[in-house]
Structure 1
Amino acid sequence: MHYLGIDLGGINIAAAVVSEAGEILGRGNIPTPRGAEAVADTMAAAARLAAEQAGVSWEELAAVGIGSPGTIDPQRGVVQYWSNLDFENVPLVDLLRRHFPERLPIYMENDANAAALGEYAVGAGRGSTSMVAITLGTGIGGGAVFNGKLYTGFNYAGMEVGHFVLEHGGRLCTCGRRGCFETYCSATALIRRTRESMEQNPDSLLWKLAEGDLSKVNGRIPFEAAGMGDATAGQVVDEYIEYLGCGVASLVNIFQPEIFCIGGGISNQGETLMAPVRYILNREDYARNNAHRTRLMRAQLGNDAGIIGAALLPKFR
């Protein structure tokens, strides 16, 4: 049985034919246009490329799944709001349906939820009963699967983990609150804090690694400089990890999932990141004395998590 996954991004639309086991058999990738109808047409075009590469016809597909940014109503197939493309109450599933056979079901979910589902199905959470996943990117995305079913809240807006408050009255978040998790632990937050520290410490090795240009700072540079013994970078990384560990421990104490999965570009630091976060979790997990405890794991699927999760949506609804 074959499934089609479509990952709608602000820059590119990616499609893939995926086997029941979660293996990608063919891909298509096309730049994202403007306008809802053009987006739907391009999604279908990317899907055709993926099907051609996989050698699969529309008739051999069991379902189509879409992972889309923004607030989603999966029951109606509507993108309620997505600022990047000025989407407001866009009936994306209906717009896409005209490109596929009438008998083919089309599902849609928030892209962070789809990525979490991909990791649960064939990545870090494979074989577990429950998993909470966070993605450390421009913001912090989150998703959860409990007892084999994707959790989205009664209004499909659940698991916005980037917007629980880590520090009351703290840094202003784009959502309007202060002290949100993502204002301290997203890649954006790490880059901003690194730049602030560079301006305060002109002799830091961070300047050399960034080629003297604040605009070239990324999430890798502070970890690299800290590994080379730079004190300023070490302080930035230590602060970042303390906040991240606090956020992870808080989420574990709320959900106590079998697996807690961390993905996104920052997770590429591997055990340099995961080991100290695991230490904090071992210290602050309320269930630290239990025989069965949450396992902290790094995401395994990288950028493919969302497209695999979108494809496999019908299996976990």
Structure 2
Amino acid sequence: MSVLLGIDIGGTAVKIGLVDETGRILLSETRSVSFDGYKTPIMTTVTALAGELLDKSSEKPVGIGVSATGQIDVHTGTVIGVGAHFGNWLGSEIAEILGNAFHLPVTVINDANAAALGEQCYGRAKGKDNALVVTIGTGVGGGIIENGRLIQGQRGIGGEIGHYIIDFDGEPCPCGNRGCFERYGSTGALVRRFTGDPALLAELGIPAGEVNGKVIFDHLSQPAVQAAVDHWIDCISFGIVGLVHIFNPEIVLIGGGISREEERFIRPLREKILSRAMEQFAKDLVVEAAALGNNAGLLGACAYFRQMHENF
């Protein structure tokens, strides 16, 4: 059975693992890529950790599948766009660097698209031909499976749902536009709602530096917090309903750490989506939390490699 080296590169950490054909992770390691404020190039950290992992294992991979944050040109394995400013990530030639270091074939795909493939091959979208996977975190990412295949577009950067515009006169976005979905529907947007209101934080007794999604949900018994979270879930539901009307999926999967909140997040989000989508789009539509958690990108990266190299 062939084994792949899977690599999932995020803005703060990289996860690397050896993955077999069934999606079983045989060995894995995680390391910060921002430990010194990105003075050390991300790919230097990634390459070093990959070498250490391979030295620990008797398994020899036949290839490398990479999931990476940013807009990835899948033809060259290069970072051609970033939604956040960290390090010198833009322009990183991921495939070339790893190919030269380990003398193995390499594929590279955006992390949200990888998560969608991971769910299709090993998670809750398995057996589904039309699926929408939405990751809710600092931003909003997504992957779209249509008729069994991942939508990638001309250069492999399709599915950038965090930057489709839901309010043309809305908040400025670091991408240069206004009113992008992730400015309203990300966990980052929810956190900004609270850090931008010092009086509310003082009333709740929460230091500004400690605000995150978990802390906010821990205070849901407070009416002001519940109202803010309800509005945030409204924003997410409107964005997803628009996507449902475009792609007509059979399943919508929600990823990100907040997706573990079944009763307080997934259930109300599901109800709002199903009540707002047009009748025939909502019919038989399933809305669930994604299944693979932090392993989605790693597994999806390996699934993409196998799609591109069917002989492996």
- TM bracket (short chain): 0.7 to 0.9
TM-score in terms of structure 1 length: 0.86
CA distance in structure 2 between the aligned counterparts of 1:96 and 1:315, rounded to whole angstroms: 17
Aligned equivalent of 1:285: 277
Q: 2:245 aligns with which of 249, 253, 256?
A: 253
Give the Å deviation of 1:29: 2.9
Residues 142-167 of structure 1: per-residue CA shift (max 9 Å, x gap): 11222332211113221111112222
Aligned equivalent of 2:89: 87
Amino acid corresponding to residue 277 of structure 1 in structure 2? L
Structure 2 unmatched ranges of 5 or more = none
Please, which moves more after superposition, 290-299 or 21-30?
290-299
Map residues 205-220 of structure 1 onto 2, 5 A cutoff: 207-208=204-205, 210=206, 213-220=207-214
Give the Å deviation of 1:289: 4.1
Relative to structure 1, is the Cα distance of residues 291 and 282 closer, same or farther in structure 2, using a 3 angstrom cutoff? closer
Q: Does 1:312 align with 2:303?
A: yes
Q: Does 1:44 align with 2:47?
A: yes
- Match of 1:249, SS? helix
Aligned equivalent of 1:159: 159
Map residues 1-317 of structure 1 onto 2, 5 A cutoff: 1-32=2-33, 39-57=42-60, 61-82=61-82, 83-101=85-103, 104-197=104-197, 199-200=199-200, 203=203, 207-208=204-205, 210=206, 213-226=207-220, 228=221, 230-286=222-278, 288-289=279-280, 293-317=284-308
Relative to structure 1, is the Cα distance of residues 106 and 169 closer, same or farther in structure 2, using a 3 angstrom cutoff? same
Give the Å deviation of 1:314: 2.2
Do 2:47 and 2:98's aligned partners in 1 also have CA atoms closer than 8 Å? yes
Do 1:184 and 1:190's aligned partners in 2 also have CA atoms closer than 8 Å? yes
Relative to structure 1, is the Cα distance of residues 291 and 86 closer, same or farther in structure 2, using a 3 angstrom cutoff? closer
Aligned residues: 302
CA distance in structure 2 between the aligned counterparts of 1:252 and 1:112, rounded to whole angstroms: 17
TM-score in terms of structure 2 length: 0.88
Amino acid corresponding to residue 218 of structure 2 in structure 1? E
- Match of 1:191, SS? helix
CA distance in structure 1 between the aligned counterparts of 2:231 and 2:113, rounded to whole angstroms: 28
Give the Å deviation of 1:233: 0.8
Relative to structure 1, is the Cα distance of residues 15 and 275 closer, same or farther in structure 2, using a 3 angstrom cutoff? same
Amino acid corresponding to residue 289 of structure 2 in structure 1? R
Relative to structure 1, is the Cα distance of residues 55 and 258 closer, same or farther in structure 2, using a 3 angstrom cutoff? farther
Give the Å deviation of 1:137: 0.8
Do 1:74 and 1:108's aligned partners in 2 also have CA atoms closer than 8 Å? yes
Do 1:64 and 1:107's aligned partners in 2 also have CA atoms closer than 8 Å? yes
Relative to structure 1, is the Cα distance of residues 235 and 39 closer, same or farther in structure 2, using a 3 angstrom cutoff? closer
Give the Å deviation of 1:200: 4.9
Residues 46-99 of structure 1: per-residue CA shift (max 9 Å, x gap): 224434555302xxx232111122221111122224442223433221121122
Give the Å deviation of 1:305: 0.8
Report the identity percentage.
33
Over 6 Å off, 4+ runs: none
CA distance in structure 2 between the aligned counterparts of 1:180 and 1:163, rounded to whole angstroms: 5
Amino acid corresponding to residue 272 of structure 1 in structure 2? R
Structure 1 unmatched ranges of 5 or more = none
- Match of 1:138, SS? coil
Give the Å deviation of 1:135: 0.9
Amino acid corresponding to residue 222 of structure 1 in structure 2? I
Do 2:23 and 2:299's aligned partners in 1 also have CA atoms closer than 8 Å? yes
Do 1:151 and 1:158's aligned partners in 2 also have CA atoms closer than 8 Å? yes
